[in-house]
Copies of this chain bind each other. A is one copy, B any other.
């Protein structure tokens, strides 16, 4: 695995370096357990609480690592990204801590609470249309005008390394974990987690959880190449991105399975997070719980020996209004 840096955009060394770099700034998030959810799932579940991370999502780990990796001259001109929310807020916060500007291209329709976070952390919001091409065009323009550096939400080794620090912590906190379930969108989170976890514990299984309405990773794994979807349709606003050329090789090689979930399963898992775990998790954050409770996971003999399962509850930025609307509509 030490040779992974040749194959992939990150490896256990870059992840450990990232951890040293960002440790003073991030929260070492706690791990929660619930007897009720253990009974329901028939396993021991260990919830890694990234919704407690600064900015309300794991994204601060990667953003912080990226910003701290810049050379000072480069950094002074600022950073730019396009994002539906959590990466944008995280990058704004990381930039603020370093005293440099963050230019955030936000697609129309991004959740209000996430845009509010960007503004609260001092990010400069520049609106684009919601398509990826509009986001990229606007971002390119900002780059040119400001001389700032693009920090991609996931297709970047510094970001992947930062997100991988979750696995370092989780395996320190709970040594007996034999599988980790991770939401998948662009693949930055799961790539980092897979590279770190399989380096530390080669037998560990890495399982992706993906909305059926944005199942490009599942389709890509079947096809053996990156498949992008013409459109996505899911309540999980953080899971609509497509795999990148730096995350795909890791997903291809190190992710053992992709479980796809209906929106109603995601919403039910989110409700359980509120009512049983007593924590506020956004739809994208709750999808890992939905996965372990799904029939396709429970009935799959491959996972029968996975007794101790880590679940990354990746974020907790949710508008209470839209949350309640989704509960009502799912009934």
Q: Which residues of A contact B (CB under 8 A)?
A: 30, 32, 51-52, 56, 113, 271, 274-275, 277-281, 316, 320, 324, 327
Contact = CB atoms under 8 A, between A and B. Distances in A.
A275 B51 contact: no
Which has the most chain B C-beta neighbours within 10 Å: A32, A113, A278, A324? A278
A320 B316 CA distance: 16
Which has the most chain B C-beta neighbours within 10 Å: A32, A280, A281? A280
Contact of A324 (B277, B280, B324): B324
Contacts of A52: 32, 278
B320 A327 contact: yes
Given A56-B278, A278-B279, A279-B280, 14 more contacts: A30-B30, A32-B52, A51-B278, A52-B278, A113-B275, A271-B320, A274-B320, A275-B280, A275-B320, A278-B280, A278-B281, A278-B316, A280-B280, A324-B327
Contacts of A279: 278-280
5 contacts: A51-B278, A271-B320, A274-B320, A275-B280, A278-B316
A30 B278 CA distance: 13
